[in-house]
Amino acid sequence: MRRLRNVKIVATLGPASNDYAMIKALHEAGADVFRLNMSHGSHDEIRERHRIIREIERELDSPIAILADLQGPKLRVGTFANGEEELEEGASFRLDLDEAEGTIERVRLPHPEIFAALEPGANLLVNDGKIRLKVEKCGADFADCTVVTGGTISNRKGVNVPDVVLPLAALSEKDRADLEFVCDLGIDWLALSFVQRPEDVIEARDLAKGRAAILSKIEKPSAVACFDEILKVSDGVMVARGDLGVELPVQAVPPIQKRLIRKCRSAAKPVIVATQMLESMIESPMPTRAEVSDVAAAIYEGTDAVMLSAESAAGQYPVEAVTTMNNVAEAVESDPTYREVIEASRIATSGRESVAEGIVSAAREIAETTDIKVICCFTQSGTTALLTARERPRVPIIAMTSLRGTARRLALSWGTNCIMTGELQRFKQAVVNSARAARVHGFAGTQDQIVVIAGVPFNQPGTTNILRVAPCDESLIFASDPE
């Protein structure tokens, strides 16, 4: 299913998007990737959503990526005798391991790992940062705090600890069980929450055993601090602005977003911008102007994908939310300023260090300086397509592969139109198949030319070494290369 934009759209499934008709409508409206949130829904519900997506994929012959998002460890306070309390600014408040119900003076925090890492002066954020506590004194089983920002604290509200790296694994026991379930089910991307260090990603990769690509969610200051190391061991990144905006000053998030997008592009790894992109559309059929500008800003920055969370999972207007995001993307990418920004940022990408990088760079330059309609790249691992996408060419990219899993994973990558092809033995077959695909899918006509890039010998990852400008007319291909 050809899109008239390059940026991809990720839609989260949930109660509002739980059946065949709605999920198909979301895909037809523009969703390229479906996110399964493992924080909500039973394994039976997740299995059914997965089945529906694959059925739609077969019906429409359109590769669809499935991203399973692990919950990660959840840090929460205990319960209160009165259900809630009102904390006043300047008051003292204790967090401890006592199992007694909370009062206006204290509450249980059932996470000894937090106490082990705390130091005086550290900040604790409760209920998405609405309440801020400053640690004055702490020990192995308590933290005496001063209320810096007061408010209502109630049962099981979440706790963020922005100032320290917690001695907690990114994978809880629930996450490990969920990981095995979704990998056996057959997902394409595995999103890892609570990433603090590269070792967290390596652990998830070892457990996944190649069954899914690993996407690191950047939602903690510690992850931002060692982002380069995390990126090296990740297949992709999600800029999870919700928790990131809680643990860091909100004004710090936009420049971090821009910086992370550029680093991901330089590494030729997909990046998603997520959280509250069209939040008002949970209840309204129209977004705010600020939300539209937020989505547009991420697209101008060169992100691979933008994501809908509650808007498509639990909102009243899921199809309208996807349609809005699609329309914004088309409008931005048709703006001449968009090309100026994208091409100006190309100098931030890494140097040409390999033959493959040189080939894809040459393909982009040829396509943009001559009358070329499309770049067709043959790929097994997906690397050639990712490198081509990093160039952000002005012409469309067709990623051709014989591996369904590769086509699905590339559905998350900027500008890639994934088309299945049989295994090839000769480069001429690749050229003929490219010309045919470009015509059938409306990228070029018989009078047009295309660029074809591939690796010889075929079916071996990492061998991209050949480029050809070819006509879309198959008879001309055979006439120019009769053997």
Average pLDDT over residues 358-374: 94
What's the rounded Cα separation, in Å, for the pair 78 and 154? Answer: 9
Domain boundaries, the chain: 8-72+170-335, 84-160, 351-480
Average pLDDT over residues 432-445: 93
101: pLDDT confidence band, cut at 50, 70 and 90? very high
Q: Exposure of 329 by Cβ count < 10 A (0-12 exposed, 13-18 middle, 19+ buried)?
A: buried
Q: What is the pLDDT of residue 407?
A: 97
Domain 84-160 and domain 351-480, same fold? Reply is no
What's the rounded Cα separation, in Å, for the pair 182 and 9? Answer: 21
Range with lowest mean pLDDT among 189-193, 342-346, 363-367: 342-346
At CB < 8 A and 24+ separation, what contacts does 173-177 make? Answer: 174/71, 175/38, 175/70, 175/71, 175/72, 175/73, 176/207
Annotated catalytic, 303?
no
Is pTM beyond 0.75? Reply is yes
Which one from 8, 35, 106, 197 is the annotated catalytic residue?
35
Q: What is the pLDDT of residue 349?
A: 47
Average pLDDT over residues 407-411: 98
Take residue 132 and report the two structure tokens written for it. 């801020």
70 or 426: which leads in pLDDT = 70
Average pLDDT over residues 281-303: 97
217: pLDDT confidence band, cut at 50, 70 and 90? very high
347: pLDDT confidence band, cut at 50, 70 and 90? low
For 33, the enclosing helix (H) or strand (E) is strand 33-37
Annotated catalytic, 275?
yes
Which one from 106, 217, 241, 265 is the annotated catalytic residue?
217
Q: Please identify which residue in the block is written with the tokens 């008709």.
A: 21
Dump pLDDT digits (tens) for 196-209.
999 999 999 999 99
CATH no. for 84-160: 2.40.33.10
Average pLDDT over residues 14-42: 96
8 Å CB contact between 168 and 73:
yes
Q: What is the pLDDT of residue 427?
A: 86
37 or 483: which leads in pLDDT = 37
Q: Exposure of 351 by Cβ count < 10 A (0-12 exposed, 13-18 middle, 19+ buried)?
A: exposed
Which one from 275, 303, 388, 406 is the annotated catalytic residue?
275
Annotated catalytic, 35?
yes
Average pLDDT over residues 230-241: 98
475: pLDDT confidence band, cut at 50, 70 and 90? confident
Tell which CATH classification among 3.10.310.10, 1.10.10.10, 3.20.20.60, 3.40.50.10540 matches the domain 8-72+170-335: 3.20.20.60
What's the rounded Cα separation, in Å, for the pair 8 and 333? Answer: 12
**Among candidates 32, 60, 64, which has minimal Cα distance to 329?**
32
Burial code (b: 16+ CB inside 10 Å, e: under 16) for 298-327 equals bbbbbbbbbbbbbbbbebebbbbbbbbbbe
**Among candidates 189, 255, 264, 256, which has minimal Cα distance to 222?**
256
Amino acid at the residue 427: F
Q: What is the CA radius of gyration of the chain?
A: 24
For 331, the enclosing helix (H) or strand (E) is helix 318-333
Q: What is the pLDDT of residue 352?
A: 57
Q: What is the pLDDT of residue 119?
A: 93
Res. 308: pLDDT tops 80 = yes
* 3-state SS, residue 267: coil
Dump pLDDT digits (tens) for 160-174.
999 888 888 889 999
Domain 351-480, classified CATH 3.30.70.360, yes or no: no
State whether the Cα torsion 259-265-267-272 is positive or negative.
positive
Average pLDDT over residues 75-86: 95
348: pLDDT confidence band, cut at 50, 70 and 90? very low
135 Rama class: left (phi>0) / alpha (psi -120 to 50) / beta: beta
Cα 199 from chain centroid (whole Å):
20
Which one from 47, 74, 76, 174 is the annotated catalytic residue?
76
For the chain, give the mean pLDDT. 94
**Among candidates 435, 458, 457, which has minimal Cα distance to 447?**
435
Q: What is the pLDDT of residue 128?
A: 87
